[in-house]
A and B are shown apart, each in its own frame.
Chain A
Amino acid sequence: MRTGDYKQSYGELVTLIDSPPVWLWSTVLVLALVVAPYVLNAYALSFLTIILITVVGALGLNILTGYTGLISLGHVGFLLTGAYGYAVLVSKYQLPPLVGFLGAGLVPAAASLIVGAPSLRLKGLYLAITTLAFSFIINTVILEMRWLTNGARGIAVQRPEIFGVSFESDAAFTHLCLATAILTLFATLNIRRSRVGRAFVAIRDNDTAARVMGINLHAYKLLAFVTSAFITGIAGALYGIYLSFVNVEGFPFLLSIEALAILIVGGLGSALGAVLGTVLIVLLPEATRLVFSLFSAQMDAMFTTGAQELKSMLYGLVIILFLRFQPRGLVGVWHDLKRTWVNWPLRY
């Protein structure tokens, strides 16, 4: 049983990870993920890539909905503008991919100012509906701006080459997604433990008290929108590259629901929760398919033909189950396990 929690300087009190075992296991996990693309087959690798891209998007939504408590049903709009930002800059105007990624962040960030402005007055359900409307408007705008976006035909996107390193192969592209996911995770954790993150959480928990503490509610709500949209846009660009083709049909509304499901299943307001939730939600349809295919080939066929419908049903089901039985999400389960492990054989 580990005991005590001794700090010798204030620097140690503000570090991100204060326990050597956590450092060790995180490093082991990262190394495993670096090696994974060479070990896994193409099918499993595609899941890993999707998980890494989705982690970025989920962390983006987590800043807005998890930390700041502003519910967004329109995050697919930011994914879409991010993907188009990248595709237009890189495929259409032949700019370097890094500029493309910057654009993939900045275009949704600018769009978020428009959808964020009403959020200064709206809360809860009303805000959710506003953001929902935003994602549909964005869809239409992209379809109509044919001179820039090719309308419904979409834009083909190549795998990028950055600083002479080609990310053409699946393994290399997975590494790019891994690096982005890790950077985003650190960015999110760093925001959370700083003045800005505390302001976000303060707005979520009690906005009157937040303002009395000197937090500018308007500025910080917009900042949450901008930061969240920027990160989500990067995820959108990666997803576009992964699909190798950006059009509105590649980004169905279901992605917004999936993102919310991830946060609820993982545990709202926790970066670790967003990661755990992503793994579960991305693998859930596949795991369900595997289980059912054990029973009959007919079931298997049903999953192939009605994949989207079954996905939305599954997401609905896990959201209900988690809200009913484990509202703190997977991160709550994780904390309970950790406590049991540390205190065993005592209860607490």
Chain B
Amino acid sequence: MSALLTVENLSKRFGGLQAVADVSLSVTAGEICSVIGPNGAGKTTLFNMISGVLRPSGGRISFDGIDLATVSPWRFAAIGIGRTFQNLALFKHGTVVENILTGRHAHLRSTVLDAIIHFGRTRTEEIAARRHVERIIEFLEIEQIRDAVVGTLSYGQQKRVELARALACEPKLLLLDEMVSGMNQEETEDIARFVLDIRDELGITVLMIEHEMRIVMDISDRVHVLNFGRKIAEGTPAEIRNSPAVAEAYLGRQRADQAAGVSA
């Protein structure tokens, strides 16, 4: 399998703050990859660069053979990068269906004049889009809330709608930014199951930021660890669990030594 996403020596500087420094990683098609690290490690900044929200200060991102520096940020959806946001970025006055339909934007073609006439091509296109949305609704089991206004839904439900909206883009790579934060056990397990289904049934590669270690260790194929903007480790969940560098980043040196002593 070839690399779908390759990040080389990526950096982002905000004034005096080096948020991401010299990070390289690659994601193979069909993998579920996790990015972990303590708060402020630069994980979300990394995601923002991969999804076009921020431009890198240095380094290179190539996706599916395309150098992303040559692509306008709004085209990222069309070439196959979808994402969810850490702190919900839904269109909260719209219904669930409308939100997911908005996710279809990159796959629809009608112009404002087509839209005004709303006949023939536009109508066919809208019906097809609606049908696609219905499939996603069924996939994520949100039939009950499809006509609800998003602003009235619970946090867990809104997260799921955001996932649905990202899936409506039909991405090749799905970036999930802390999907399960603030969710209870049951909701977390649902999401873990959906992430596996997304990879297995829809064939979408997943890169996720996650603080919830159980889900990271259970479903990731590879884990990348950031600390203070730098990558400090990479490997399978088992390798990461036993890495002294990772333990040190999370627990501090002294505690990490103690933990190593206990397990040894």
Contact = CB atoms under 8 A, between A and B. Distances in A.
Interface of A: 10-11, 13-14, 16, 186-187, 190-191, 193-199, 201-202, 205-206, 208-217, 223, 227, 269
Contacts of A197: 115
Given A209-B90, A214-B75, A217-B74, A194 B98 contact: no
B77 A14 contact: no
13 contacts: A10-B131, A10-B134, A190-B115, A190-B118, A191-B115, A196-B112, A198-B98, A202-B105, A209-B90, A209-B91, A212-B89, A213-B102, A217-B74
B78 interface: yes
Contacts of A10: 127, 130-131, 134
A346 B110 CA distance: 43
B52 interface: yes
A194 B52 contact: no
Contacts of B194: none
Interface string B61-92: 00000000000111111100011010001111
A202 B93 contact: no
Contacts, number: 110
Nearest to A206: B89
Given A14-B127, A214-B105, A208 B74 contact: no
B25 interface: no
Nearest to A191: B115
Contacts of A211: 52-53, 73-74
B28 interface: no
A214 B165 contact: no
Contact of A195 (B77, B89, B110, B165): B110
Contact of B103 (A186, A194, A213, A227): A213
By secondary structure, the A interface counts as: helix
Contact of A194 (B110, B131, B165): B110
Contacts of A209: 85, 89-91
Contacts of B158: none
Interface string B86-120: 00011111100010011111101111101111100
A191 B75 CA distance: 22
Given A205-B91, A216-B72, A199 B105 contact: yes
A194 B72 contact: no
Interface of B: 51-53, 72-78, 82-83, 85, 89-94, 98, 101-106, 108-112, 114-118, 122-123, 125-127, 129-131, 134, 165, 169
B192 to A, nearest CB: 24
A202 B111 contact: no
Contacts of B72: 216
Contacts of B115: 190-191, 194-197
A190 B113 CA distance: 10
Contact of A191 (B82, B98, B108, B112): B112
A11 B130 CA distance: 9
B91 A201 contact: yes
A48 to B, nearest CB: 25
A180 to B, nearest CB: 14
A201 B94 contact: yes
Contacts of A191: 112, 115-116
B130 A13 contact: yes
A205 B92 contact: yes
A208 B117 contact: no
Contact of A214 (B77, B116, B117): B77
A190 B102 contact: no
Most buried by A among B77, B83, B89, B123: B89
Given A195-B105, A195-B108, A213-B106, A14 B123 contact: yes
Given A194-B118, A212-B77, A202 B91 contact: yes
Nearest to A207: B89
Most buried by B among A16, A195, A196: A195
B62 to A, nearest CB: 19
Contacts of A13: 127, 130
B127 A214 contact: no
Given A194-B118, A217-B74, A212 B127 contact: no
Contacts of A194: 110, 114-115, 118, 122, 126
A208 B47 CA distance: 13
Contact of A201 (B76, B89, B93): B93
A10 B137 CA distance: 14
Given A194-B126, A198-B105, A213 B77 contact: yes
Most buried by A among B77, B112, B126: B112
Contacts of B116: 186-187, 190-191
B194 to A, nearest CB: 20
Nearest to A186: B116
A164 B79 CA distance: 53
